[in-house]
Structure 1
Amino acid sequence: MIAKALLRALFRLAYRVEVRGLENARAAGVPAIVVANPQSRLDTLLIAAFLPDDAVLAVDPRRAGSGWVWRILGLFDTVRLAPENPCALRTLVKAVRSGRRCVIFPQGVADRAEDLPPVYGAPALVAHAADAPVLPVRIDGAVFTPFSLFKKNWPSVRWFPKIALTVLPARRLTVDPALRGRARRQALAGVLYDVMADAALRAYDRNRSVFDALLDARSRFGYGVPILNDAERQPLTYGRLVLASVALGRALTRLSAGGEVVGVLLPNANAVAVTLFGLQAFGRVPALLNYSMGPDALVSACATARVRTVLTSRRFIALGRLERIAEALAAHTRLVYLEDVRKEVGTLDKLWGLAVSRLPGLMRGRTAKADAPAAVLFTSGSEGTPKGVVLSHANFLSNVAQIAAVVDLWPTDRVVNPLPVFHSFGLTAGLLLPLLLGVPTCFYPSPLHYRAVAELVAELKATILFATDTFLTGYARAASDGELSSLRYAVAGAEAVRENTRRLYQERFGVLILEGYGATETTPVMAVNTPTHARPDTVGRFLPGMENRLEPVQGVHEGGQLFVRGPNVMLGYYLSGQPAQLIPPPEGWHDTGDIVVVDADGYACIVGRVKRFAKLGGEMVSLAGVEAHAAKLWPDDAHAAVALPDTRKGERIVLLTSRAGAHREEFLAFTRAHGIPELMVPKTVLWVEAIPTMGSGKADYPAVKRMAENALKETGAKKPA
């Protein structure tokens, strides 16, 4: 067909259109329902030009021209999906049943659960009624053109960006046949939403290094677009970030070998991003060191990953009062200060950085393979000795793609990230996710500066905040009325979000808290509540591409021990007894160590960790459950439960709480009033000024246990003989 061939040639010339997966379109055959993500008024033309099979029925011609235009071009027959044409769906179903291929675009973007049927309902209903498979098509790049449907959210508009089309394997939509009416429409729309989310993940290029992804983001969003900022208020554009990273990275190659693990001990600031990308640009593997661990733990971590060189800053050591840590590290590694390295950055280093920042193709594809180690992080150590977690470039990019597939982030958003990048949540969600999606991000060096973080959110009119429940509570209490109201989402992880926190943000600021679940070993996000899919008292549904299975645990009557597998699951562990020897997860399955309940709709509820159950008279009692009941009884205070040996029952539960005047009898009365088994009542309730926490905000359970043991010893010593 002449019109089709001309369109194809024009698109390839103007937009360098790349088409992947055409074999899937041919395999789908007819009838089939082509569903593509809406991006621009060019979408229908792109589908017409590049998908095989001329027997295509285009829907919603308002997207690009009137029906008579399509008929003159000989590309499509058209049926208008609009309120004035209530018979359109029937017409479409008949066309598909007669053996035709139908193209339907979801009508807009789903921002809430109730948006799903209007947005995804038409293509889902047609596919279900005609018993035809859905052929998902992912369009990328057209949103940057002047023909974009989302101009207000995509300021980086240019005339001729690169466009890619990815055709995924055809899928059939199946739901419970007993569903009727609105329930069936909702279910079908939900299934199609999942199909399109999976398509977004599969279409994302994960076969590259993280630094290559940065170069691609610089090309997509522009050299001069400001993307990173910090407390010093010296913003970095994409171009300056690439320039600084390459220049510093070349200097660092003179201090380390290719593939070497290099320690990084730096605060949340632009310098840490430049250092990370500088190392990755030249095949080094940054090991993010948690300066809240203490000297002994950090020395042990360096030994576990065989870190010979640690990069830090004199100013950071002085301001953070980390002299003891610096001395301990210097005794076992070579401590290198960035202030000294910057003096060694020569003219050639700067010229090479400038060249790459202007011409990203100079280094793209030459940095590291996707399956090579990209970073080493360390588990929190909240329950024992920290392990080194080796994450690949593909792990990081997969998790970015998984999150982006279900949570909308726009270049017009603004992120505040007070979470340290030595925590996987702070690194992946707080730095890489917004950076690679074109969302300006501002670092803040400490999540504990509650008032300062609240003021920063207000000053920048931030729309996204990454934090934990503990920190969110602190920000809300420190904030003046309205200071956090610019937020679209507050994304919380690392610990359970209390109902009191959720209610506080909703009622006082009108802000939705999206609670998720993850682990360092999964880069970290496994599951998350989203605006379209949220359920109280859960951590949401598993991300696209995640497999999960539950294995029974003796003595536990609900849920099972969770194992997960997916593209974001780590390469493996470095263990203290086997330094720098990679121990991969068996067959790719990671044992989370958590007891989890997954309901019929796929929502996960964390019951507790396997290690955090007390065995009382043959029954397994969740310590996390005890803490949850304490949080409901005393919502304004912090709580931590531990199990200690007991001569009569084997173990006893001790609750530490910051609630002044807390008594066991009050807890017992609460459980009786709410029908909670008495096994959940702690044997002892101890008041403390503050619960010991890790740098991530999670309770430091080894420290909590020591505190409980010491308190009980003192109590016993004071008793009369």
Structure 2
Amino acid sequence: MPPTFEARQAQTTLFEALVAAARKYGPKKPILEDQERKPLTYTDLIRASFALGRKIAAFTRPGERVGVMLPSSAAGVVTFFALHAIGRTPTMLNFTAGIRNLRAACELAGVTRVLTAHRFVEQGKLHDLIDALETMTTVTYLEEVRESVGLADKLYAAAAGALPGRFAAKTRPSDAGVILFTSGSFGAPRGVMLTQANLIANVRQVGAHIALDPNWVMFNPLPIFHCFGLTGGVLLPLLCGMKAFEYPSPLHIKQIPALVKDAKASILLATDTFVNQYARAAEPGELSGLEFVVCGAERVRDETHNLIAERFGPVPLLEGYGATEAAPVIAVNKPGDNRRGTVGGLVPGMEIRLEPVDGIPGGGRLYVRGPNIMAGYLAPGGGLEPPVDGWHDTGDVVSISPDNWLKIQGRVKRFAKVGGEMVSLAAAEDLAAGVWPDCRHAVVAVADAKKGERLVLVTDRRDADPAPLVAHAQALGAPEIAVPRKIIRVPEIPVLGTGKTDYVALQRIVDADLRASRAA
């Protein structure tokens, strides 16, 4: 019998997979590039990983969790594989999470050494973060490490590049591949340990789900501290023979479309928020050379689908669905089977089960199991909390078609009970988007003495008013209890570094407004 999908994934480590890809696609193939426009071949990447890894090994210990605070860049990718070459665990730090969350992440993961770069700190104005980290860790700058690379290191790297199997640290597929932290959209981020097998499995799952051409170029502006940016923007292209083009920030709205064209990108990874902005800023033809765009992390609006179609022709906008705990891809649409309003079909090897949720018909709470599901959450004190029987509770309410295509109804915590009826906050946001498609909206629920809960719309639409929402709901046949009657107008909706709406910050805005109203 042929090995199962899961068994096939467990036979290699990440560094071995990189070396195997070099052999398969050609060691001299340019495979990695960033805004510096100095492409690296597989051989360059492997040698650079050994050269840097040898220097890092001098001040770290085998198995150590080493913090990485770098943007999406060739340097960030080399650092990731350098740590694997010497048997250390990359612990990707979210530099947009704030000082408190960053310190908590280092404490939870046991990080005592952080790798970063002077240039990155200067450009990102991250000096306060560095000052905070230096009270509990040793911060090492890559520029200084590189300056210490001498002839002996270069000779070592050349020899190791020729015989990587002999020089690379001996690790197992079941060993840690990376430690990441959840986005914190609804609370404090959690530490997630993904094994090397988890990451490789997810790459293979996506490759089995969507036919990928090794001649394509993947353009990744998403941060590598986020699982979508790391697996989708780095590991997937490198292990499948596609060039990975790394860009340090998704916020450079005017620069990215022109660079997408100049880099001859085939695939763009982004979120709905960023794709919408890129499409508006782009000149004709700058995005039309793409094979497709893949969106995750947040729901894709119809307006974004329409905008891409109107301005750039037949470029499919593929919505996908995942979680850090799933390395991250659980489902994604296909270029030849792209169903609006869904997050696509399950990738191979995924098992699911739905558990009923009171008051929400037609769907259930989604649990997933498969070779890509995490080893566990980091527990205080250094242990792991593995998923029970391998099942991860996504916290999302979904419906599923007979051919395993998923539609997200909302997160369990993003339903409100209004007058005894369950109302999806995501559906309420959709109502606002239908009335004011060019603006950003978010809905939260607050306690109400009469109805149990009521909905509050926070929007950047300056003249937003409940009357058009009510009329739109009536036209659609939507229940009026799903229409927010309280509206808070803000200059902009708070978002996380990944592009997701920051519902923690949003709740603070609503609470402050309600306190001010009561005091008036």
Count the aligned residue pairs.
519
Q: Which runs of 5+ in 2 are unaligned?
A: none
- Is 1:445 the counterpart of 2:215 in the alignment? no
Change (3 A) 1:215 1:630: same
Which of residues 266, 270, 288 is equivalent to 1:485? Answer: 288
Shift in Å, 1:505: 1.0
Equivalent residue, structure 2, for 1:584? 386
Equivalent residue, structure 2, for 1:543? 347
Inter-partner Cα distance in structure 2 for 1:521 and 1:360: 30
Equivalent residue, structure 2, for 1:8? none
Shift in Å, 1:667: 0.6
Inter-partner Cα distance in structure 2 for 1:686 and 1:228: 45
- Is 1:387 the counterpart of 2:184 in the alignment? no
Shift in Å, 1:205: 4.7
Equivalent residue, structure 2, for 1:314? 118
Q: For the Cα contact (< 8 Å) 1:212–1:367, is it kept in 2?
A: no
Inter-partner Cα distance in structure 2 for 1:271 and 1:333: 21
Q: For the Cα contact (< 8 Å) 2:6–2:201, is it kept in 1?
A: no
Which of residues 687, 702, 720 is equivalent to 2:504? Answer: 702
Equivalent residue, structure 2, for 1:409? 212
Equivalent residue, structure 2, for 1:378? 181
Shift in Å, 1:346: 3.9
Equivalence map 1:262-661=2 (5 Å): 262-363=66-167, 366-510=169-313, 511-575=315-379, 578-661=380-463
SS in 2 for 1:376: strand
Q: Deviations 1:524-576 (Å, cap 9, x if unpaired)?
A: 0000111233322111111100000000112222311100000000000014x
Q: For the Cα contact (< 8 Å) 1:268–1:443, is it kept in 2?
A: yes
Equivalent residue, structure 2, for 1:112? none
Inter-partner Cα distance in structure 1 for 2:469 and 2:45: 54
Shift in Å, 1:633: 2.0
Inter-partner Cα distance in structure 1 for 2:356 and 2:327: 26
- Is 1:260 the counterpart of 2:36 in the alignment? no
Shift in Å, 1:484: 0.3
Which of residues 678, 699, 708 is equivalent to 2:480? Answer: 678
Partner AA of 2:407 in structure 1: C
Shift in Å, 1:344: 3.2
Inter-partner Cα distance in structure 1 for 2:475 and 2:518: 32
Moved more, 435-444 or 348-357: 348-357
Q: Deviations 1:254-297 (Å, cap 9, x if unpaired)?
A: 11111111100011111101110000111100110010001111
SS in 2 for 1:287: strand
SS in 2 for 1:426: helix
Q: Deviations 1:93-138 (Å, cap 9, x if unpaired)?
A: xxxxxxxxxxxxxxxxxxxxxxxxxxxxxxxxxxxxxxxxxxxxxx
Inter-partner Cα distance in structure 2 for 1:413 and 1:334: 39
Between the two proteins, what is the percent identity of the paired residues? 49
Equivalence map 1:18-33=2 (5 Å): 24=1
Partner AA of 2:274 in structure 1: F
Q: For the Cα contact (< 8 Å) 1:377–1:423, is it kept in 2?
A: yes
Shift in Å, 1:203: 8.5
Inter-partner Cα distance in structure 2 for 1:367 and 1:266: 26
Inter-partner Cα distance in structure 2 for 1:363 and 1:543: 35
Q: Which runs of 5+ in 1 are unaligned?
A: 1-23, 25-166, 169-198
Partner AA of 2:353 in structure 1: R
Q: For the Cα contact (< 8 Å) 1:411–1:438, is it kept in 2?
A: yes
Inter-partner Cα distance in structure 1 for 2:7 and 2:242: 20
Shift in Å, 1:580: 2.3
TM-score normalised to structure 2 length: 0.97
Shift in Å, 1:204: 5.3
TM-score normalised to structure 1 length: 0.70
Inter-partner Cα distance in structure 1 for 2:77 and 2:19: 14
Q: For the Cα contact (< 8 Å) 1:280–1:367, is it kept in 2?
A: no
Shift in Å, 1:611: 1.1
Q: Deviations 1:373-420 (Å, cap 9, x if unpaired)?
A: 110000001111111000000000000000001112212111110001
Inter-partner Cα distance in structure 2 for 1:685 and 1:669: 16
SS in 1 for 2:286: coil
Partner AA of 1:621 in structure 2: V
Instruction: Flag as ranges the 4+ runs of structure 1 deviating above 6 A.
Output: none
Inter-partner Cα distance in structure 2 for 1:387 and 1:326: 21
Inter-partner Cα distance in structure 1 for 2:161 and 2:460: 51
Q: Deviations 1:196-218 (Å, cap 9, x if unpaired)?
A: xxx8x569554211111111111
Equivalent residue, structure 2, for 1:55? none
Q: Deviations 1:465-500 (Å, cap 9, x if unpaired)?
A: 000000000100110111100000100100010111
The structure showing larger relative contact order (alpha-carbon pairs under 8 Å, at least 6 residues apart) is 2
Shift in Å, 1:345: 3.0
Inter-partner Cα distance in structure 2 for 1:687 and 1:404: 43
Inter-partner Cα distance in structure 2 for 1:579 and 1:542: 35
Which of residues 471, 480, 487 is equivalent to 1:669? Answer: 471
Partner AA of 1:653 in structure 2: L
Inter-partner Cα distance in structure 1 for 2:247 and 2:131: 26
Q: For the Cα contact (< 8 Å) 2:10–2:174, is it kept in 1?
A: no
SS in 2 for 1:450: coil
Inter-partner Cα distance in structure 2 for 1:203 and 1:433: 19
Inter-partner Cα distance in structure 1 for 2:283 and 2:336: 30
Partner AA of 2:41 in structure 1: T
Inter-partner Cα distance in structure 1 for 2:181 and 2:241: 28
Moved more, 332-341 or 560-569: 332-341
Shift in Å, 1:220: 1.6
SS in 2 for 1:552: strand
Inter-partner Cα distance in structure 2 for 1:266 and 1:554: 44
Equivalent residue, structure 1, for 2:27? 223
Q: For the Cα contact (< 8 Å) 2:9–2:197, is it kept in 1?
A: no
Partner AA of 2:23 in structure 1: S
Shift in Å, 1:669: 1.0
SS in 1 for 2:170: coil
Moved more, 263-272 or 201-210: 201-210
Inter-partner Cα distance in structure 2 for 1:368 and 1:349: 22
Q: Deviations 1:340-390 (Å, cap 9, x if unpaired)?
A: 2223334333222112223333346x5310011110000001111111000
Partner AA of 1:655 in structure 2: L
User: What RMSD in Å do the two structures reach over aligned CA positions?
Assistant: 1.5
Inter-partner Cα distance in structure 1 for 2:348 and 2:477: 37
Q: Which has the larger radius of gyration?
A: 1
